[in-house]
Structure 1
Amino acid sequence: MPRICLRNQWYSAFRQASWHDTHLQGEEGNCVGYWAFEAGAIAFLYGIDDSKIDHMVYPKDLVEYARNHPISNASQVARIDAGQPCSKTGYWFTPAQANSRRRFSHREIMPEFGESNSNHTIWYWTGED
């Protein structure tokens, strides 16, 4: 199944919005945080502490909601901390190490990279292929 670039579809769908393309006007533009949802998604997916973010467009309530409602869809796979057993056979990657994507078997222990910036390695499932 081919991947669809949802970001491009999302942005073009707002062509009629008053803020569309205003970031291209430099300091004269009116860029009021239409990328804030992506920032919230990154904070959620990578477990980033966003407790000190106090900006009017940051979707703190949505991130908190996502954190308080665990994954219930069996087709989704939760992240795994290093040292824990692999929950699903397939390919995984970690931002703690460049080119880290590799195949793990179910129950195989996920390795840690001690030189990572946070000294904590988190693995994310990318699929079975």
Structure 2
Amino acid sequence: MLERLLAPYVSGSIPLPTECTRHLPYFKTLKIFDAESQDRSMLMREYLEEWYRASRREPYYDSHKRDDAFTGYWSWEAAAITYLLDIDDSSYRNAKFYPVDLVDFARSIQAPRFSEAKPEKQELRVKSGQECPKSGTWETLDIPLQQRKFAAGEIMQAENASYGITVWRYIGD
């Protein structure tokens, strides 16, 4: 589900999964993404009607019975999908677990939807120990900060890295 939510905002095409790592309740959202636009409202309404019962294997299920810090149950994904796919939510605006205020807020500020998403230029990053894909100056995302020039094909290594795996970021020629 998350890959489908983020795919339009990431440059390049990625194969969209046909399963969800957390099966219930989230796999039912895949039908909403794949449906014709006129059918999405009905599918989301059905999703919200089953959401809490389908969440019975999630850690938050029944947390109101065991925790003083309970803040409520919300199907955040329903709000995100509704907004990003521009689904008419009039048939489920009053659904028990639907955060309608969040959707209304997103609509009021006109946050970008899928059709408007323009992926930002992605940084070129490579893990230490891999071949350099592009000649130029690279910088570690580590402490202490290191800068080095690497030639394409050269194995990228860091010295005195504080973290287990060093990631190099391309900063230019």
Give the TM-score normalised by structure 2: 0.30
Looking at CA atoms only, which structure, 1 or 2, has the larger radius of gyration? 2
Give the TM-score normalised by structure 1: 0.39
